[in-house]
Amino acid sequence: MRLFTKTSLALGAFLICVAAVPAVKADPITVISSGFSLTNLGNDGTGVSGMDSLVGASRTTTRNINGNGRFIALLNPLTFTTAFTGPNSGGDHPFTFSQLLTINGQTQTLNLAGNINIGHLVDTVSILASDPLTFNFGTLSVSVTVLPADIDGWGEGIFKGHLKARIDVIDNSNPVPEPATLTLLGLGLVGAAAKLRQRRRATNA
């Protein structure tokens, strides 16, 4: 009985220590965008050839996530180049485009919708929305939500911006007992061991 009591106390103390130590398992998430190039946005055909244009450079982002997590990834540094787009080009011009998005070696097509507003002084290009994307890797899944982006072009010139996305990581593996659960288990074992010890003393008295 004495051996059992000591073993129970040691096990309870060990579980309490384990509960106090945070998990160290980390999943690296690597996001790679292929980039895109759009020209003649809003151009009525009589303006400067190729203008307005929007170019999104390719980008790679890596983050380590413990279990469930979320982070913002830069998909594309944007370059918006403006020039005369023709006398009849004023107003809104919606457009669509796509680029490849690769997460941890799995590639899907990211379809996006945008709009360019041609004004007298300012041309504004906007990326408004995208199709939702979910990447499944068995033990975890990753969803991608593109964040809206706008760039104002004042007159003719080159203007910069960023296209970003929210990356949500969901751990689909078997849940690990929470620290509070492990603590209660440890305390229960300690209590049981103490009870047995009291009974043993009462018996020997």
Tens digits of residue pLDDT in 27-77: 899 999 999 999 999 999 999 999 999 999 999 999 999 889 999 999 999
Dihedral-angle region of residue 138 (phi above 0 means left; psi in -120 to 50 means alpha; beta otherwise): left
Is there a contact between 96 and 111 (Cβ–Cβ < 8 Å)? yes
Radius of gyration (C-alpha) of the chain in whole angstroms: 29
Residue 144, pLDDT > 70, answer yes
Q: How far apart (Å, rounded) are the C-alpha atoms in residues 111 and 100?
A: 9
User: What is this structure's pTM?
Assistant: 0.73
Lowest mean pLDDT among 4-13, 65-74, 108-117, 186-195: 4-13
Q: What is the pLDDT of residue 67?
A: 84
Q: How far apart (Å, rounded) are the C-alpha atoms in residues 40 and 95?
A: 11
Length reported for the chain: 205
Confidence of residue 173 (pLDDT cuts 50, 70, 90): confident
Closest CA to 162 of 68, 48, 33: 33
**Preceding omega of 150 cis (within 30 degrees of 0):** no
Write down the mean pLDDT value for the chain. Answer: 84
Q: How far apart (Å, rounded) are the C-alpha atoms in residues 24 and 17?
A: 15
SS3 of residue 49 by DSSP: coil
For residue 28, give both structure tokens.
């690296």
Residue 165, pLDDT > 50, answer yes
Q: What is the pLDDT of residue 80?
A: 98
Q: What is the pLDDT of residue 198?
A: 67
State mean pLDDT over 15-25. 47
Q: What is the pLDDT of residue 183?
A: 55
Q: How far apart (Å, rounded) are the C-alpha atoms in residues 7 and 140?
A: 37
Q: What is the pLDDT of residue 186?
A: 53
Say what percent of the chain tops pLDDT 70: 72
Confidence of residue 155 (pLDDT cuts 50, 70, 90): very high
